[in-house]
């Protein structure tokens, strides 16, 4: 709808009853009156005065959190408009039976849109699960290994290390390369990898959220029957990926595609049905694949939110366009760091710097606290580095607007001019 | 705020920018304009005309789904008003770092309010987890049993049976009583139970969602060191419970206290730290207790919603008042069934009928489809019985208004008059 900055708009509330208490409610008025109406135009006397202005984009902070992270503003507005009564269904998505036609349409659309985004073939099942990537650290070996099976792990950061440690309970994992001695700032050359020819799979963490190290290409398991498995939690749907190279891809949703509480697993169907006997039923991929992620009650609202994000990513032109935006955002931020004559420093090898998580330090480390504090004053929050590594970290996932990165870069230059 | 049914209210939108696209969004206008403003009063010319009326309570269906289920209308309105910008934080709860002060305040308040509601002592840890009760079917034996430990299960319905079957993977469970031959319509006399004196625990499902059978009192394990464990998914926070009688209480949130995707576990602290070696880290209670449910990213938005529900239950006067409302609702529904001269029938023993889930059948079973269809036409949905038992089922959890049950009873009488 067209609106002019000079002409105030109004929303008509025909039914004051929505402000009244409900018979079983202890809350007797809604704290904030709300109208949910379709586009319209009305005239209103300019004598109208509001006690408080409506929420505006200006109220919105630039949130550089590593996850849960910023979501597309348009997706939040849509969720807001549908929260109380989803598309005339007479209830919130949070209240829908997971077996009712309304929710089935939501989860089926979400899966179909995700398949479009990543061009996922019918050879793969797409599962919407719970428990985060940390649950998958156990699910992967439990589903595709026998206890005595050797498997290989490339450890490029804390998450890959956690995945390896969990696997020791269910198979015979080996760390064939670790970046720990270099403080997780690099990725190995694939030719130098000493893969076990008998390994059942090769596991990588495609993007290390804490250390800002990202695989730009993927290694091939030595054994042609071995599987490449990737934790893509923090760069899932940030760029196109050839799913056919992988046996299993898993990701927590709370970085690029939704709120926390949803874990997406993309698993090749021929791998299903071989879970170890000790596998909890909720960790058995076949159970969920056979039931279209509805074996038990799924995290319905989170799946709905992921669906809204998938629609938004498709509307942007798909992951090719999304990647372009992400490269542009990362480029100006890394350029600012590299062009600071050492005032700002990126510890990560240039060739494997993450497009999603940008850790950096200050030459004068005693200023880091002030940097974070001053940035927050200007509406840029969650810039403190992970407690395990210190420094700063700017997470710039899909939903971080270019304007947010531009504002951060401008602030960095001001801060350097003031303290350089 | 005071509003008159005769005076239309208006919300002033000062800033049209909220309708504009964001720089990284492919959606160029918000489908529905929104205003989020504090209470105010303004005059508006009556020439104002809206294309569509705002959502009203009249648009809302009475949703008798077994879970996910109806939520308090006031809670939904509050969530709606806070979705885009939580209390001026500049972001949605869905975008908050789970380690930031805003979310910490949310999860800590939720735990504290739940402790008030159920009078939970410091001897117990309260955990907000993922994976539903089905995950707990494995977590319980994995956390407190050795593989050779005998444990007892009372099976009063499908859920207790599923819990038993999952436990066979991790210990030596025995069904000491099953209601299956009576189609799960009763609860055993506690005196007649043949408990194993060496059992590590006695497991019950406090309310069987599908069969409508509810424990009104609780058995005591024969062995004084044995633990009473209860799956309270479908009657959690529907009435006061003496938590001190239990070793572990677990419940999926999606019946009485929130959306799906949150599982609440109340576990006695002295039981922590004994998990079997094969326990996935995400199923280890001690890990979550030591990290205040923040070992990994929790289902933040679901926990926020549970917190809003807990506030609402406290505002109603706590669980004593909540139980009174639930008894009243159940009473008028069971009275309608029992007073129908057999037109409607409840299969469940009167003494153990659930206050939450009311299954019933029609003497003329061929009319059941029409009953469900006609009820839906009158705005009462999800009355079809579970696919495994057929008939009808009215789930009347905490948030089902008395008006919803009264409307259902009136409809039942009309339907009987028409077809009796």
Residue in chain B nearest A31 by alpha carbon: B78
For B232, other C-beta atoms within 10 Å of its C-beta total 25
Q: Does the pLDDT at position B285 exceed 60?
A: yes
Å between A117 CA and nearest CA of chain B: 14
Bridge partners of A129?
A263
Min distance B27 CA to chain A CA atoms (Å): 7
What are A185's two structure tokens? 């700032």
Distance, in Å, from the CA atom of B333 to the CA atom of B330, rounded to the nearest integer, reads 5
Q: Across the interface, which of A9, A77, A135 has its CB nearest the CB of B282?
A: A135
Q: What is the reported pLDDT for A6? A: 36
Model confidence band, residue A388 (pLDDT cutoffs 50, 70, 90): confident
Mutate to test the interface with B, among A11, A161, A398 (most CBs of B within 10 A): A11
Instruction: Give the model's pLDDT for residue A57.
Output: 52
Are B401 and A24 in contact (CB < 8 Å)? yes
Residue numbers in B near A301 (CB within 8 A): 259-261, 301-302
**Residue A387: band (very low, low, confident or very high) from pLDDT cuts 50, 70, 90:** confident
Mark whether A86 is an active-site residue.
Answer: no
Residue whose pair of structure tokens reads 């071995």 in the numeric block: A226
Q: Which long-range contacts (CB under 8 A, 24 or more apart) does B93-96 make?
A: B93/B300, B93/B301, B93/B304, B94/A68, B94/A71, B94/A76, B94/A258, B94/A259, B94/A260, B94/A305, B94/B300, B94/B301, B95/A63, B95/A65, B95/A68, B95/A69, B95/A70, B95/A71, B95/A76, B96/A65, B96/A68, B96/B300
Instruction: Pick the closest to residue A300 from A139, A129, A74 (CA basis).
Output: A129
| Per-residue pLDDT tens digits for B194-213 | 999 999 999 999 999 999 99
Chain-centroid distance of CA A283 in Å reads: 21
* 8 Å CB contact of A94 and B169: no
ipTM surpassing 0.85: yes
Cα dihedral angle (B400, B402, B405, B411), rounded to 10 degrees?
-130
In sequence order, the 6+-apart residues with CB closer than 8 A to the CB of B242 are: none
Cβ(A216)–Cβ(A260) below 8 Å: no
Q: Give A48's contacts in chain B (Cβ within 8 Å).
A: 10, 12, 42-44
pLDDT in the model for residue B389: 85
Q: Is A159 a catalytic site residue? A: yes
C-beta atoms surrounding B131 within 10 Å:
26
pLDDT tens, position by position, A204-235: 999 999 999 999 999 999 989 999 999 999 99
CB pairs < 8 Å spanning A and B: 482
Between residues A192 and B216, the one the model is more confident about: B216
Place of tokens 């198979």: A171
pLDDT value at position B97?
97
| Per-residue pLDDT reduced to its tens digit, A321-343 | 999 999 999 999 999 999 999 99
Round to whole Å and give the CA distance between A364 and A376.
19
Q: How far is CA B370 from CA B362, B384, B389, B392, B420, in A?
A: 11, 11, 17, 11, 14
Of B86, B113, B159, B312, which is the active-site residue? B159
pLDDT digits (tens, 9 = 90+) for B84-134: 999 999 999 999 999 999 999 999 999 999 999 999 999 999 999 999 999
pLDDT score of B45 more than 60: no
Q: What is the pLDDT of residues B208-264, one digit of tens each?
A: 999 999 999 999 999 889 999 999 999 999 999 999 999 999 999 999 999 999 999
What is the rounded distance in angstroms from the CA atom of residue B394 to the CA atom of residue B356? 8
**Band of residue A96 on the pLDDT scale cut at 50, 70, 90:** very high
Nearest CA of chain A to the CA of B253: how many Å? 10
Identify the three-state secondary structure at position B35: strand
What's the pLDDT score for residue A119? 98
pLDDT for A58 equals 56
DSSP structure class, residue B63: E
């Amino acid at each position: 709808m067209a609106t002019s900055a000079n002409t105030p708009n109004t929303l008509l509330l025909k039914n004051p009853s929505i402000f009244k208490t409900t018979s079983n409610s202890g809350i007797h008025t809604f704290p904030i009156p709300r109208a949910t109406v379709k586009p319209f135009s009305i005239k209103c006397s300019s004598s109208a005065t509001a006690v408080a202005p409506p929420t505006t984009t200006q109220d919105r902070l630039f949130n550089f959190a590593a996850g849960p992270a910023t979501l597309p503003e348009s997706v939040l507005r849509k969720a807001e408009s549908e929260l109380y009564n989803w598309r005339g269904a007479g209830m919130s998505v949070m209240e829908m039976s997971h077996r009712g036609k309304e929710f089935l349409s939501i989860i089926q659309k979400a899966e179909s849109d995700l398949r479009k985004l990543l061009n996922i073939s019918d050879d793969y099942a797409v599962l919407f699960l719970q428990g985060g990537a940390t649950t998958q650290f156990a699910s992967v070996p439990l589903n595709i290994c026998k206890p005595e099976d050797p498997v290989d792990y490339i450890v490029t950061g804390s998450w890959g290390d956690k995945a390896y440690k969990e696997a020791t309970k269910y198979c015979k994992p080996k760390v064939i390369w670790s970046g720990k001695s270099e403080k997780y700032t690099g990725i190995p050359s694939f030719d130098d990898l000493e893969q076990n020819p008998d390994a059942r799979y090769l596991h990588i963490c495609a993007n290390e959220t804490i250390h800002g190290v990202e695989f730009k290409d993927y290694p091939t398991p030595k054994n042609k029957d071995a599987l490449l498995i990737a934790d893509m939690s923090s760069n899932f749907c940030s760029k196109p990926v050839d799913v056919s190279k992988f046996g299993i891809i898993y990701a927590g949703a709370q970085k690029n595609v939704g709120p926390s509480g949803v874990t997406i697993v993309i698993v090749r169907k021929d791998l299903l049905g071989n879970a170890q006997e000790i596998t909890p039923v909720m960790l058995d991929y076949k159970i969920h694949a056979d039931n279209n992620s509805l074996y038990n009650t799924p995290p319905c609202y989170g799946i709905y939110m992921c669906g809204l994000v998938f629609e938004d990513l498709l509307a942007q032109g798909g992951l090719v366009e999304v990647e372009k935006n992400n490269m542009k955002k990362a480029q100006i931020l890394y350029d600012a760091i590299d062009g600071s004559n050492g005032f700002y420093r990126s510890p990560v090898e240039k060739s494997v710097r993450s497009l999603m998580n940008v850790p950096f330090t200050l030459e004068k480390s005693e200023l880091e606290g002030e940097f974070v504090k001053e940035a927050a004053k200007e509406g840029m929050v969650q810039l403190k580095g992970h407690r395990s590594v210190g420094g700063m970290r700017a997470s710039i996932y899909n939903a971080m607007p270019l304007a947010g990165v531009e504002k951060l870069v401008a602030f960095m230059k001001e801060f350097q001019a003031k303290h350089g």
